[in-house]
Structure formats: C-alpha cells, structure tokens
A = this chain, B = another copy of it.
C-alpha cells in the first residue's frame, strides 16, 4: 500500500472540507489509485477556536511543525498572499508537492511558483483555484493539448452571478439584492473582491496563462465590477434578446498574436451556452480550432465541490505528467482602440423624450452614421441600442451630434458570435 502524508494549511471552509472528504472517500480513492492519503498535520492561526475532536491532536499554529512531519504533499487552503507564498516556497524547496485553492496566490505568483516546482521536480497543482469543482485547468492541460484555444469566456464568480440573476428575475436594484445575499450568506461581509471583479480577474489570469501559454499579470486585465449595473439595463437588454453577466473573456488573435483579457458586465445572447447559467453556478466556454466549443458548468465554490478538485489533484499527483508549456512568454496586448466588436448603449430616462419611439431612435442614430441595428425604448423612460463595428470615437459622436450626457449613458460589450481561428 502506498501511504501519502498530507500537511493541510488552513481549516476553514475548504480545509475542513478536504479533511472530511479524505475520510469519506478513503475507500474509493484506495480502490482506484492504490493510494492512501493521510492528513498528518493541520496548520491554523487561532489555537483557541473550537474544532472537531479528530483534528485536535494534529493541530499546530507553527508552520515549522508541518515541515517536521512525514508528509509528501502540502495542501494550501489558507488564502491571501502572505504567509501562504513563503510557506509554499519553503515546502517546495524541501521537495514537497503543492496542491492549492488560492487563486490570489496563483494569479500573482503562479509563474514563479511553477518555476520553483520545475526546478525541484515537484508538482504545483491548483485546480480548485478556478471554478471550484469544475476540472477546467485539467481539461485545458490534458484534453485540449492538440487544440489552439482562441477564446475563453467564463462566469467565474458565483456571488456576482447570483446577484445579477436575482436582479434580472426580480427587477430589484443592486443594493437590495446585495443586502439579501449578505443575509443569506451568499456574499461575504466585505464583498469587494467579488463585486468589483478581482476574484474573477485572478481566475481569468490563471486560465489565460494555461490556454494562451502567456503570462498576463492581473494588472493588465481590464476590470469592471457590477456595482452600477441597473435594473433598467437588464430589462432593456432582455427585451433585445440578451442577458447581462459578469463575464471574464480572454481572446487571442492568431497564433502568437495579441491577446486581450477582461472582466466586465457583458451582454450575452440568450441562446449562448453561458446565458442559462444561473445563481451560484460557474461556467467556462472554451473555443478551440479542432474541438470547436466546449462548455463546463458546475458549482464554483463551497466546501464539497472545492474539496473535489483538491482530492482529484491529490490523486493525480503521481499519475499525470504536466505537459510542456512555456511560462515566460510575455504576450502582446491588443491595444484598446483596436477592440472592435459589438456594443450595447443604454440611456438613462433623463436623456430620452417622452414620445421617443424605437424606430425614430434608430433612424436618428443611423443618420449620423452609426451602425445601429436594434433599438428599444422603455415605457418608463430610457432607451437602449446595439451598435455593430464599434469604434472608440462613437461616444464623442453621440455627445456632439445628439447632445447626450456621457455620464448618463452606459456602454457594455456584447459577447461576439463564434470566430474562426
């Protein structure tokens, strides 16, 4: 029998989930892998917190205790950059494998950690850091090796997806739904990382690194949160056949060509595979030159789904060899003024006259040379339209020609149709 000792850093939602799942799945894992995974030590911060009896005897608050135990793998489920970074590096230097759920750590220091792992001949696996239980990193690494991936689009944050789903279904405002989500435990006390798109940007950075074999720092990802998405927008978008999601999109224009990565509220046609992903679910739509398209949907957080990803990484440590991928390529970023595509423009009620109709609006916009197709006017005031072949000069045209106030207009990308590599 192959016994593998595990050192567990953190015993919160994820850490305790892993601890319990390793027990409940012990027989299954042994039967299928011939391996027995044993948690030998657990690191926490606060020795005074009440814990379940089984874990008390192996608890420590001193990381050096973890390194003294007979372990082959460290599972990092603490979160944050420090001290996680220091601990993970020390463990790898001692020849230990790493499995982590920490998206911030992987997004900010993944390249450096991956390099250390290669130098030391250990594995650094992080499936749980993106999409909870969804095996998207594994799919990209092992089942799309022969594909050139040209676009990844994802709903990567459950909290914001839940909020937008509720706003859309119930017509409530952002603040109302956020308050309710907090009460029901779907949103953190400090929801900034979710609401403002940081969490999704971390995950997109990790996905982009694997899919495009390119190192795009989080600071190079366009990022806009959902704070100012309005019920009016959601309503008018729906009447035009779209839903609005906080979408993370990475695209590459040609092999080794420029890349663009962004997280922002985005219109999706209601027929798009991601449009029906509601509530706390996460989903990733992958487009590659041979497979065409592939969508993975699952629970993006929670103790069980996240533990599943960690257990699977543990089972695969000694089985799957990581494919050869470049770590250092610094990609060209597509200049903002070259981002064409389709946009949705929504006007606040103050900008529209009472007797405006959709036809008239379209004609007026077309008459000043804008490639406008669909227009919709709200009975309560406000209007929206879709502009094709977007150009960054369009907003100033709207202001100059129609006298609209730029601060009373929202402009959002519309997720494009399929594109051939």
- Whether A292 pairs with B312 at a CB distance below 8 angstroms is no
The B-contacting residues of A in range 251-305, CB under 8 angstroms, are 271, 273, 275-276, 278, 281, 288-299, 302, 304-305
Q: Indicate which residue in B28, B139, B305 contacts A135 across the interface (CB closer than 8 Å).
A: B139
Complex Cα spacing A134 to B297, Å: 13
A147 to chain B: closest residue by CB: B308
In the complex, the count of this chain's copies comes to 2
Question: How many residues of chain A get a CB closer than 8 Å to chain B's CBs?
Answer: 57
A299 to chain B: closest residue by CB: B292
- Whether A146 pairs with B297 at a CB distance below 8 angstroms is no
Q: Given the known A-B contacts A135-B143, A139-B139, A308-B147, are A273 and B290 also in contact in the complex, defined by CB atoms under 8 Å? A: no
- Whether A133 pairs with B292 at a CB distance below 8 angstroms is yes
- Whether A291 pairs with B146 at a CB distance below 8 angstroms is no
- Whether B299 pairs with A142 at a CB distance below 8 angstroms is no
The B-contacting residues of A in range 11-67, CB under 8 angstroms, are 21, 24-25, 28-29, 31-34
- Whether A304 pairs with B320 at a CB distance below 8 angstroms is no
Q: In the assembled complex, which residues on chain B have CB atoms less than 8 Å from the CB atom of A138?
A: 142-143
- Whether A321 pairs with B319 at a CB distance below 8 angstroms is yes
Q: Given the known A-B contacts A295-B296, A295-B298, A296-B296, are A145 and B290 also in contact in the complex, defined by CB atoms under 8 Å? A: no
- Whether A21 pairs with B297 at a CB distance below 8 angstroms is no
- Whether A320 pairs with B323 at a CB distance below 8 angstroms is no
A325 contacts the other chain (CB 8 A): yes
- Whether B312 pairs with A143 at a CB distance below 8 angstroms is yes
Contact flags (1/0) for A305-335 with B, using CB distance below 8 Å?
A: 1011101101110011101110000000000
- Whether B32 pairs with A145 at a CB distance below 8 angstroms is yes
A17 to chain B: closest residue by CB: B290
Q: In the assembled complex, which residues on chain B have CB atoms less than 8 Å from the CB atom of A325?
A: 32
**Chain A facing B: main interface SS:** mixed
- Whether B291 pairs with A145 at a CB distance below 8 angstroms is no
Q: In the assembled complex, which residues on chain B have CB atoms less than 8 Å from the CB atom of A24?
A: 289-290
A240 contacts the other chain (CB 8 A): no
Q: In the assembled complex, which residues on chain B have CB atoms less than 8 Å from the CB atom of A307?
A: 290
A144 to chain B: closest residue by CB: B312
Q: In the assembled complex, which residues on chain B have CB atoms less than 8 Å from the CB atom of A142?
A: 138, 142, 312, 316, 319-320
- Whether B288 pairs with A299 at a CB distance below 8 angstroms is no
Q: Indicate which residue in B28, B146, B293 contacts A147 across the interface (CB closer than 8 Å).
A: B28
Q: In the assembled complex, which residues on chain B have CB atoms less than 8 Å from the CB atom of A299?
A: 291-293
Complex Cα spacing A343 to B142, Å: 41
- Whether B25 pairs with A290 at a CB distance below 8 angstroms is yes
A298 to chain B: closest residue by CB: B294
A311 to chain B: closest residue by CB: B146
A89 contacts the other chain (CB 8 A): no
Complex Cα spacing A25 to B316, Å: 27
- Whether B291 pairs with A298 at a CB distance below 8 angstroms is yes
19 contacts between A and B (CB under 8 A): A21-B290, A25-B290, A29-B146, A32-B324, A33-B324, A127-B143, A133-B291, A135-B139, A135-B294, A142-B316, A142-B319, A144-B308, A146-B312, A146-B314, A275-B276, A290-B304, A290-B307, A291-B308, A296-B297
Give 7 closest A-B pairs by Cβ, nearest first. Answer: A135-B143, A291-B308, A146-B311, A290-B308, A276-B276, A295-B297, A133-B291
